[in-house]
Amino acid sequence: MTPSLQLTDSLIASAAEAIKRASQALLDKQYAEGYWWADLTADTTLESDYILLELWMHPPVDGVWNPPSRERIDKAVQSILARQLPDGGFSIYPHGPAEVSACVKAYFALKVAGLSQNDSRMRRLCERILELGGLQAANSYVRINLSLFDLFPRDACPSIPPELILLPGKLIYQMSSWTRAIAISLAIVHSANPRRPVPEGFNLDELYVPGKPLALPRDEKLFTVHNLFLVVDKMLKQWEKHGPRSVRQRAVNKCAEWMLERLEGTDGLGAIYPPMQYAIMALDVLGYAPDDPMRQSAVDEFFRLLVDDERGFFFQPCFSVVWDTAIAAFALAEAGAMPKGAMQRAVDWLLSKEIRRRGDWSVKRPNVEPSGWCFEFANEFYPDIDDTAMVLLALNRAHGSDAAKQQACEQRTVNWLLAMQGSDGGWAAFDVDNNWQFLSKVPFADHNAMLDPSCPDITGRTLEALCGWGMKPDHPAIQRGIRYLLDTQEADGSWYGRWGVDYLYGTFLSLRGLQAAGVNDREACIQRALEWIRAYQNADGGWGESCASYDNNTFTPGPSTASQTAWAILGLLAGGDVRSISLHKGIEYLIERQRPDGDWDEDYATGTGFPKVFYLSYTDYRNTFPLLALATFVKAKTSSEDL
């Protein structure tokens, strides 16, 4: 045996040992019901917004704020302060720079909770906010939230009119599903112009840059879509003051009806933090008493997002349980390390979560039989394509206790995924052809997620799932998906990743989709992608990419992480690379950094909520994806050596 083969055999053996440890660690985390559920964490804006909600729910009495939740608020304060940067600011992702909107939210929360503006931490934060442009530079949702307490001029906030729901053409369904849930609940609140009280003498005057205008920023060029929408916004403000009250009331009633319907069968409105918060406020302004069952349920669902134990004090943006379960089951099945009992429990639990009612997606696909999975425990109006494809991948590898039930479910799932393919050949997250680009220019669209267009990462995963189920590469839907990926490949060979950071994520999933769809790995598009991956390997053998890639519109290197190294390895393997030094060094990186308990450490956000605005740390990505990468490597090496 040659030295190179001996080296390879040693690497395969080490990878196999790492797989055993990782598999056991993951199996130990499976809940008795069959699912996996890891923490999903974000930045300090969630804790800051929580304090704002407490002020809303428990307003000051005679100018004094003494909420019954004082102990919990104090914990939120400490949680926020623990993440303050040396320069005084707050970032929107770990190890990132200060971001003005996160800073303003934190300052408001800390000050209203009782910290003096003369506290050294507050002084440094105030200085950092002013350096970043002051309160005037904060985004629309910060402005709107503060205006609800008369802390920012309403005229300098974008209008979110409830009349949107009355517009022809079902305009609200041209917004992304998450924007839809936020906008409709917030429109109810905004229309009431509540001006809720704050503690006596409280203001944020010190955060304003003197002489800087408060108005929403305009484009330098005069005739732009954004500037046109600013004109429309001024007209809407006149409508709010002088329009017929009957039309406004009809719109509010329609919004309320829409929201109340979507509070059924969910973990809260949209099952994500922002609309869940605004739903509580909306129920309040609609006249629901604190002890009303509907309002109490909304509050209870919101506080289920809170973690307050040995892990710390923080709010999760939502629950990732279906997602975590599908990825874990798929990785374990790929590793051949899932005992029959654990496999059956996981599959049976997933099958029980199939959504069989029509949701918002059916507005554009009214004649399609319902199927699919949501991200959370319950969110029946919003199954998403990415979760559904990931579940189908798991079902392709694992079997439950009822084969006939699983087979019928898989067929419905495939039909639903095919029906949700966009006209461009790609797949989006929740909707079809949700890509009216001009809507991203409306004044309240600066959360950078107004739309839900097709994206390479979801398209790649969906192709892999459909072809793994048995769909042939010459099927028209598969061919259209391939063409979409070829058309969206970046000039440097990578693909954009919408739901994971960033080009590493998009590239590995696109390559896996193309591989499953039968695209020859000798094609130029594949080879360019492999060259791109290898070019950005760090000196330690791993890969890392910063969230700043979204700001820079190009790959921005970062320290190596377990999850992103796994993605790079999976991309190389999908492109047919089973022998390169880059691949072997990446495998060595994962093996050497595995902890004795089988898990890996990771201190960076590699998940994406809203690019440039909100990022996520999936706390099991660091474990499930390395397991999948190592298992795929061993399988690929074994197969290639057999040949």
Give the separation between CA 304 and CA 626, rounded to whole angstroms: 30
Which of 271, 290, 315 is a domain's end point? 315
- Does residue 391 sit in the same domain as residue 292? no
pLDDT above 80: residue 5: no
- Does residue 457 sit in the same domain as residue 322? yes
- Does residue 261 sit in the same domain as residue 323? no
Supply the CATH number for residue 143's domain: 1.50.10.20
| Residue-wise burial string across 161-176, b where 16 or more C-beta atoms lie within 10 A, e elsewhere | bbbbbeeeeeebebbb
pLDDT above 80: residue 220: no
pLDDT above 50: residue 3: no
pLDDT for res 6 = 56
pLDDT for res 237 = 84
pLDDT for res 230 = 86
CA torsion angle 440 446 451 455 (round to 10): 110
Average pLDDT for the chain: 95
pLDDT above 70: residue 164: yes
- Does residue 328 sit in the same domain as residue 311? no
What phi and psi, each to the nearest 5 degrees, are found at residue 369?
A: -65, 130
pLDDT for res 475 = 98
Of 383, 265, 373, nearest to 327 by C-alpha is 373
| Residue-wise burial string across 29-50, b where 16 or more C-beta atoms lie within 10 A, e elsewhere | ebeeebbbbbbbbbbbbbbbbb
pLDDT for res 2 = 45
Domain total for the chain? 2
**Which of these is catalytic: 386, 424, 446, 620?**
386
H helices present in 517-561, as ranges: 524-535, 548-552
Which of 315, 346, 378 is a domain's end point? 315
- Does residue 257 sit in the same domain as residue 326? no
- Does residue 287 sit in the same domain as residue 358? no
- Does residue 440 sit in the same domain as residue 299? no
CA torsion angle 427 430 435 441 (round to 10): -140
Res. 643 pLDDT band, cuts 50 70 90: very low
- Does residue 394 sit in the same domain as residue 277? no
pLDDT above 90: residue 617: yes
Percent of the chain whose predicted confidence (pLDDT) is above 90: 89
Burial tier of 430 (Cβ tally within 10 Å: 0-12, 13-18, 19+)? buried
- Does residue 370 sit in the same domain as residue 302? no
Bin 287: left if φ > 0, else alpha if -120 < ψ < 50, else beta. Answer: left
Query: Catalytic: 49?
Result: no
- Does residue 21 sit in the same domain as residue 125? no
Inter-axis angle of helices 503-516 and 562-574, to 10 degrees? 30
Tens of pLDDT along 379-411?
Answer: 999 999 999 999 999 999 999 999 999 999 999
pTM for the whole structure: 0.95
pLDDT for res 1 = 40
Give the separation between CA 216 and CA 207, rounded to whole angstroms: 17
Helix (H) or strand (E) holding 522: none
- Does residue 101 sit in the same domain as residue 222? yes
pLDDT for res 639 = 77
Which of 293, 315, 337 is a domain's end point? 315
Tens of pLDDT along 142-157?
Answer: 999 999 999 999 999 9
- Does residue 477 sit in the same domain as residue 592? yes
pLDDT for res 640 = 64
Residues 578-584: contacts with CB under 8 Å, at least 24 apart? 578/633, 578/636, 578/637, 578/640, 579/640, 580/534, 582/533, 582/534, 582/537, 583/633, 584/8, 584/11
pLDDT for res 169 = 81
Q: What angle do CA 219, 223, 227 make, to 5 degrees?
A: 50
Q: What is the mean pLDDT of residues 237-243?
A: 84
Of 283, 539, 272, 487, nearest to 384 by C-alpha is 272
Where in the sequence is the domain holding 326, given as residue range(s)?
A: 3-39+317-642
